[in-house]
Amino acid sequence: MLSNCTILRYYYIEEKERQKGGLFFMQIPSLQQAEALLGQARNSNPGPWIAHSKVTADCAQRIAAACPDLNADDSHILGLLHDIGRGHGISGIRHVYDGWQDMNQMGYPDVARVCLTHSFMYQSLDSFMGKMDITDAQKDELTAALSKTQYNDYDRLIQLCDALAYPTGPTLLETRLVDVVLRRGCSRFTRQKWLATYQLKGYFERKTNQNIYQLVRANIGIEYAL
């Protein structure tokens, strides 16, 4: 059994919080615990999502390292576990619900948070692209939790890195966005979701003062790194 001990780290987030002088605790597992959780999930439901999670983690660590107010090691752990709900089996939005529930129950609310927010750069449950394979009561739970969540830069970072991460490595946003549509179909919010994804890329390029594709070492021709 894994210990439910959490790593508590102090650091500033967001300019608003710095102005308030507010500090907060990050409640996440250690890297060793996170890797063990991912290993258990892989045994339950092997698939390309494991490699995708590792690429997401690597991208998050690289981008966070270039941001003075983000912790690169914490970001890596959040990236590793953002899809941990997939350990319950092949699913659509169920993986969001399962990951959110599991991590909260284990005492890792900051991991639970990114399990909830990573699919919703456009902050509406109806924007999910894929099967709504949860009950109405579970949908109401997710809707309520998502609507009261004020995104921070860790939410935004994992959303961006999720959109960059192919199982084989970081790629163009266009490649990943089209891949998701081909596999899962569109929703009436697809345009808004795509626009929000590009806004995230621009946000972190301004924050890091670097080209995101170069920063994460995306496997693309540099002529496409616009």
The least confident of 72-86, 179-193, 198-212 is 179-193
170 phi/psi in degrees, rounded to 5: -65, 145
Per-residue model confidence (pLDDT) at position 44: 97
User: Which of 3-17, 57-71, 102-116 has the weakest average pLDDT?
Assistant: 3-17
Ranges 56-70, 87-101, 119-133, 180-194: which has the least confidence: 180-194
Computed from CA positions of residues 98, 105, 83, 125, in that sequence, does the dihedral angle turn out positive or negative? positive
Q: In the predicted model, is pLDDT for residue 11 greater than 80?
A: no
Flag whether pLDDT at 200 surpasses 70.
yes
Q: What is the mean pLDDT of the chain?
A: 87
AA identity, residue 102: D
CB 192 within 8 A of CB 127: yes
Q: Which residue has the higher pLDDT, 90 or 191?
A: 90
Query: How confident is the model over 44-67, as a mean pLDDT?
Result: 98
Rounded Cα–Cα distance for residues 71 and 125 (Å): 28
Higher pLDDT among residues 172 and 187, named by residue: 172
pTM of the model: 0.85
pLDDT of 164 over the 50 cut? yes
Q: Alpha-carbon distance 60 to 65, whole Å?
A: 8
Lowest mean pLDDT among 156-160, 185-189, 218-222: 218-222
Q: Any idea which of 101-110, 143-152, 184-193 has the lowest mean pLDDT?
A: 184-193
Q: Which helix (H) or strand (E) holds 53?
A: helix 49-65
